[in-house]
Structure 1
Amino acid sequence: MSEIIWPEGYVPGFTDNYCSNEVITAGLTAEDIWPFLNTPSYWPTYYRNCADICLNESEGPELENGSSFSFTTFGFPVNAQVVEHVSPILGQAVRLAWHGWSGEEGTTTRLDVHHAWLIEDLSGGRVRILTQETQNGVPAQELAKAVPNPMINGHQEWLDGLVQAARRYRDQRLKA
């Protein structure tokens, strides 16, 4: 199976916080999942921890490499830029990653993250969805101490909602 590609400064184990969530489910493909992840305006329809999505006026509605966008999650207003974007191609893992930041640089409110997604079709009609995030900054240090871990729980909710949204859409297409 494929793995996340980490940029310098964001390798797990060398950051202030890290979380990893994965789902493997049957009956869906990377192609089924992709539109619901690659179109940020869909996120709030299946993930309640996401709001105030705004893509740069000249971009969207789908993400592309270099796209800039902002949203609110975990109580943080986040600005982000897509740094990796590989849409579904047969036999290749789908990849989406962004650098996100919140707070003023050089202050204790600053939070920098690398949030990466990997989607790949597996044998037996299964699909694997992996999301991992590393974080740096004082807010990341605080999140790392929280029990239960809000990042693990929130990202699991995002994955579960993503799968449910893709299933609902697939089922509607099959009924039509």
Structure 2
Amino acid sequence: MSDILWPVGYVPGFTDNFCSNEVIVTGLTATEVWPFLAEPERWPSYYPNSSDVTLHDRADRTRGPALEQGDRFFFKTFGFPVESQVIECVPPIDGQAARIAWHGWSGEGDDRLDVHHAWLIEDLSAGRLRILTQETQNGKPAKELALARPNPMINGHQDWLEGLVAAAREPARAAKA
């Protein structure tokens, strides 16, 4: 199975916080799930921990709602206003995992939080689909999040995964009916 490609400074084990969540489901494909993740304006409809999504330079976009390499966007999550930039974006291709990752940042000085949030969506054998999301974080807020119990990052990202799967299942069910 594929794994996350980590930039320097964000490799798990060498950051202030790390979380990893994964699901493997049947009845969906990477192509069916991709728009629900690659179009961040959809996130609040299935993941209540996200809000106020804004794609920067929206007036100049002619390519549609999906994120692409280099795109900048903003959203709120876990109580943080997060500026983000897509640093990896590989839509689904037969035989290859779809990938999307962004660098996100919030705050300044001692209150600055920097994250690398990456996703893999991978068609597996026997009609299964793997969705993996991992995030590393650096900064004082990350250190505090790492100590919180229950772990808000693990729980929040699991909610995101489950919401993503449920949202993708609705159009897939309608198309198969």
Q: TM-score range by the shorter chain?
A: over 0.9
C-alpha distance in 1, partners of 2:4/2:162? 20
Residue aligning to 1:174: 176
| RMSD over aligned Cα atoms | 0.7
The answer to whether the aligner puts 1:26 opposite 2:30 as a matched pair is no
Residue aligning to 2:78: 74
**Which one of 84, 96, 101 corresponds to residue 97 of structure 1?**
101
Could you tell which deviates more after superposition, 145-154 or 56-65?
56-65
SS of the equivalent of 1:124 reads: helix
| Runs (4+) off by over 3 Å | none
Residue aligning to 2:135: 133
The answer to whether the aligner puts 1:51 opposite 2:55 as a matched pair is no
- Whose helix fraction is larger, Structure 1's or Structure 2's? 2
Residue aligning to 1:3: 3
Amino acid at match of 1:92: Q
The answer to whether the aligner puts 1:114 opposite 2:116 as a matched pair is yes
C-alpha distance in 1, partners of 2:51/2:111? 20
Could you tell which deviates more after superposition, 141-150 or 55-64?
55-64
C-alpha distance in 1, partners of 2:171/2:159? 18
Give the drift of 1:7: 0.2
C-alpha distance in 2, partners of 1:17/1:169? 35
Percent of counterpart pairs with the same letter?
Answer: 67
C-alpha distance in 1, partners of 2:65/2:111? 30
Give the drift of 1:169: 1.2
Amino acid at match of 2:154: I
- How many residues get paired? 173
C-alpha distance in 2, partners of 1:88/1:118? 10
Residue aligning to 2:167: 165
C-alpha distance in 2, partners of 1:70/1:29? 28
Give the drift of 1:61: 1.6
Give the drift of 1:135: 0.1
Give the drift of 1:45: 0.5
- Structure 2: state its 5+ residue gaps: none
Amino acid at match of 1:137: G
Give the drift of 1:174: 2.1
TM-score (structure 1 length as normaliser): 0.97
The answer to whether the aligner puts 1:14 opposite 2:23 as a matched pair is no
TM-score (structure 2 length as normaliser): 0.96
What does the per-residue CA deviation read over 1:75-119, in whole Å, with 9 as the maximum and x for residues that have no partner? 000000000000010000100000000002xx1110000000001
SS of the equivalent of 2:19 reads: strand
